């Protein structure tokens, strides 16, 4: 059962999401929050698998709430799925940098939203290639610090296949697309990505993307 916490300041939105998610046999809504402070508190007490996080909320917004959840060692298994009105805005990228595992627009089809919840719940990230490109462009523009030396050194421990997978992750491909490109099964692609996350000591797929660019495996542009 996938346990979901809803965080949105609009009661009508939360009600609609509760009805949609609650109608699925494998999803359970375990709580609702009207702002970021409540979302963090409930995440710590109820330990959901996924927090569906609106970005624009009064007080502590969804970006800061995502940052607090991602930074809490006790909430390592909690994934944040950002809810946004616009698919490409500054709040989405801020939330991704803060540790969100992906995003979904509020006017998405019900099937898309359910798919997003399931993808994020199993530890994967939900990023379209164009979003990856925008995120990397933003990353480069801000001239963030180079990769941690320990993580960069971890590249030397990767197999040739793992390096290939890392490059494809950096280009924004999902597991099915990686499998097709490398002539392997989706399950094998997923295993490679999981091993990369462990070997390189990163939280999720999004951090793998950034690391691929930081270490020069992919050139911006």
pLDDT in tens, 4-29: 999 999 999 999 999 999 999 999 99
In the sheet with 27-33, reading across from the earlier edge strand, the strands are 27-33, 2-7, 50-54, 79-84, 102-105
For residue 157, the 8-state DSSP code is G
- Comparing 81-85, 133-137, 167-171, 190-194, the range with the smallest average pLDDT is 133-137
Quick check: 5 and 42 in contact, CB under 8 A? yes
Kindly report, as residue ranges, where domains of CATH 1.10.10.10 are found in the chain. 138-214
For CATH 3.40.50.2300, list the domain ranges present in the chain: 2-125
pTM of the predicted protein model? 0.74
pLDDT, residue 102, reads 84
**How far is Cα 58 from Cα 173, in angstroms, rounded to an integer?**
35
Report the pLDDT value the prediction gives residue 128, as an integer from 0 to 100.
Answer: 59
Q: What is the pLDDT of residue 147?
A: 58
Q: How confident is the model at residue 184 (pLDDT cuts 50, 70, 90)?
A: very high
What is the percent of the chain where pLDDT is above 70?
86
What pLDDT was estimated at residue 42? 97
Nearest to 126 by CA among 162, 173, 88: 173
pLDDT of residue 34: 95
2-125, CATH topology level = Rossmann fold (3.40.50)
Give me the count of residues in the chain: 221
pLDDT level of residue 220 (50, 70, 90 thresholds)? low
**Residue range 116-175, pLDDT digits in tens:** 899 899 877 776 555 666 666 666 565 455 556 666 677 888 999 999 999 998 887 888
Q: Are 134 and 94 in contact (CB under 8 A)?
A: no
Coil, strand, or helix at residue 201?
Answer: coil
138-214 fold: Arc Repressor Mutant, subunit A (1.10.10)
């Amino acid at each position: 059962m996938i346990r979901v916490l809803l965080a949105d300041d609009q009661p009508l939105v939360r009600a609609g999401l509760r009805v949609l998610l609650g109608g699925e046999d494998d999803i359970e809504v375990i709580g609702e929050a009207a702002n970021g402070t409540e979302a963090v508190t409930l995440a710590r007490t109820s330990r959901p698998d996924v927090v569906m996080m609106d970005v624009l909320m009064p007080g502590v917004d969804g970006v800061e709430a995502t940052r607090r959840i991602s930074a809490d060692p006790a909430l390592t298994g909690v994934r944040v799925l950002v809810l946004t009105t616009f698919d490409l805005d500054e709040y989405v990228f801020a939330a991704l940098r803060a540790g969100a595992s992906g995003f979904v627009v509020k006017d998405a089809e019900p099937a898309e939203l359910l798919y997003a919840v399931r993808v994020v719940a199993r530890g994967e990230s939900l990023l379209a290639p164009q979003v990856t490109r925008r995120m990397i462009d933003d990353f480069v523009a801000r001239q963030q610090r180079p990769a941690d030396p320990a993580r960069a050194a971890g590249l030397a421990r990767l197999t040739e296949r793992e390096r290939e997978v890392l490059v494809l992750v950096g280009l924004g491909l999902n597991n099915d697309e990686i499998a097709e490109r490398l002539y392997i099964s989706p399950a094998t692609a997923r295993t490679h990505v999981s091993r990369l996350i462990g070997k390189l000591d990163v939280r999720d797929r999004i951090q793998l993307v950034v690391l691929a660019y930081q270490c020069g495996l992919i050139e911006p542009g």
